[in-house]
Copies of this chain bind each other. A is one copy, B any other.
Amino acid sequence: MRCDVLAVGTELLLGQIIDSNSAWMGGELAAHGIDSLVQVKVGDNVDRIVVQLERRLAEADAVIVCGGLGPTHDDLTRDAIAAVMGVELELDEAVADAIRNMFESRGRRMPENNLRQAMVPVGATIIPQTRGTAPGLICPVTVDGVDKVVFAVPGVPHEMRDMFARAIVPELQRRMGERFVIASRVLKTWGESESGLNERLDEVIAELDTVGNPTLAFLASGWNGLKVRLTAKAADAVAAAALLDPWERRLRDELSDLVYGADDDTMESVVLDLMRANNWTLGFAESVTGGLVGGRITDVSGCSDVFRGSIVSYASEVKFDLLGVPEGPVVSEDAALAMAHGARRVLGCDVALSLTGVAGPGEQDGQPAGTLCCGLVWPEGEMTRSFRLPGQREQMRQFSVINSLDWLRRTLA
């Protein structure tokens, strides 16, 4: 089964919005065993949409058209699909009522052009909207005697994702003639390159290749590390879990403490959970990161039972006067340890992590850009560690955040 994607919108070609929808759909389709081999962006021009849609349909079994379903004269996806199907558009009264009701329930007047969204190509099935006004469409088409399908979904990401999971995946599976579920398990790792993970998992990968189900993939996720994803295809969820469980254990054995979490875990949620398990509160002393570590830990809602705060001591005098760091070079493990002790005292927390380093450009205290020194103090001990990170400012600072949190995790786990 092959399902290509056509993203519609002049704003996508002008760089005003980056089309991330088709990439997301490509990933999801792959996880369901469906190829997406060509993905196209085209502007709000009905002739060009028709040409590109016909080309995708000539090559693929299914095409998802994303965007161009809104109420304005620029929204031409419905017209283009009707042209490709060789049918007219007609008003769907149920959709029209739903749109009218939505405006009424919010006490707003409905501009008449909203009814454009209730126009449906004859023969198409509605994917009801649950979040916006424009419904999606499932449009059967025959190409050279072959039964194919065009889906239309809104370009608003959360509306698109909802319809994709609710209507597109089941319809594609039905067309594949198989009743199965696809289930994934994701292990999140930090501290090893893709080729390094590959090497460690050499044997497991060879065995999985022989077995064929589940499959394994590496997914880079930047400053969140590398994900190792197992994907299994089975008759139902229980059978899929039974396929995944033993391989997940194998992976965890091979990768050991490189794995910091699974599925929805983040490095910061894992650190917070570790603190909770020990009944510890947490604080930071930041210099080179300027507050990014605190900013990241507070991304997690409900962190306030653990997180006390952070002393961003960017100027050396703040390190000396507030944190009690002895005067002298401030990019060193000694200074980092003193910062951590100072933060623990000032913030009244059980565990304190500190970061001092050189984000560049240029060196500081004789240390090159990319140097990071960390200190860690907890109820039963203290420790320091240095890192050599990539020397570009933004990278260096973001890598400092994740490396220091990962080091805290491994040290205290």
> A12 in the interface, Cβ–Cβ < 8 Å?
yes
What mask results when residues 23 to 53 of chain A are scored 1 for a CB within 8 Å of chain B, else 0?
A: 1111110100000111111110100100010
Do residues B41 and A22 form an inter-chain contact, with CB atoms below 8 A? yes
Q: For residue A361, which residues in chain B have a CB less than 8 angstroms away from its CB? A: 301
Stretch at the interface among A141-149, A171-179, A200-208, A310-318: A310-318
Across the interface, name the chain B residue whose C-beta is closest to A220: B16
Closest to A16 in B: B219
**Interface assignment of A196: CB less than 8 Å from any CB of chain B:** no
Determine which of B36, B40, B309 lies in contact with A39 in the assembled complex, contact meaning CB atoms within 8 Å: B40
Which residues of chain B have C-beta atoms less than 8 A from A321's C-beta?
A: 348
Which of A160-168, A243-251, A252-260, A283-291 contacts its partner? A283-291
Give the segment of A86-94, A108-116, A123-131, A292-300 that binds chain B.
A292-300
Expressed in whole angstroms, the minimum distance between the Cβ of A399 and any Cβ of chain B is 14
A13 interface hit (Cβ, 8 Å): yes
Chain B residues lying within 8 Å of A211, measured Cβ to Cβ, are: none
Within the assembled complex, what's the spacing in Å between the Cα atoms of A318 and B36? 53
A55 (CB) vs chain B CBs: closest residue: B55
Q: What CA separation (Å) do A55 and B289 show in the bound complex?
A: 48
Nearest to A12 among chain B residues (CB) is B23
Closest residue of chain B to A317, judged by CB?
A: B348
Q: In whole angstroms, what is the CA distance A13 to B25 when docked?
A: 9
> Please, how many angstroms separate the alpha-carbon atoms of A294 and B284 in the complex?
13
Which residues does chain B contribute within 8 Å of A198, judged by CB atoms? none
Copies in the complex: 2
Asked whether A20 is an interface residue with its Cβ less than 8 Å from the other chain, the reply is yes
Q: Are A291 and B301 in contact (CB under 8 A)?
A: no
A233 to chain B, nearest CB (A): 17
Known: A290-B291, A290-B298. A315 touches B311 (CB 8 A): no
Chain B's nearest CB lies how many Å from the CB of A371?
Answer: 15
Task: Let me know if A322 is at the binding interface, CB within 8 A.
Answer: yes
Nearest Cβ on chain B to A74's Cβ, whole angstroms: 14
Minimal Cβ-Cβ distance residue in B for A314: B309
Smallest CB separation, A119 vs chain B (Å) = 24
Q: State whether B322 touches A310 (Cβ < 8 A).
A: no
- Taking CB atoms, residues of chain B closer than 8 Å to A20 are 18
Q: Are B312's CB and A294's CB within 8 A? A: yes
A17 CB contacts on chain B under 8 angstroms: 23, 220
The 10 closest A-B pairs by CB, nearest first: A291-B291, A290-B298, A15-B27, A291-B294, A310-B312, A292-B295, A15-B23, A291-B295, A39-B41, A308-B315
Interchain Cβ contacts under 8 Å between A and B, 23 examples: A13-B37, A14-B23, A14-B26, A15-B24, A15-B27, A17-B23, A18-B23, A19-B23, A37-B43, A38-B41, A38-B52, A284-B291, A289-B295, A295-B295, A298-B397, A301-B393, A307-B315, A308-B314, A308-B317, A308-B318, A309-B315, A310-B310, A322-B346
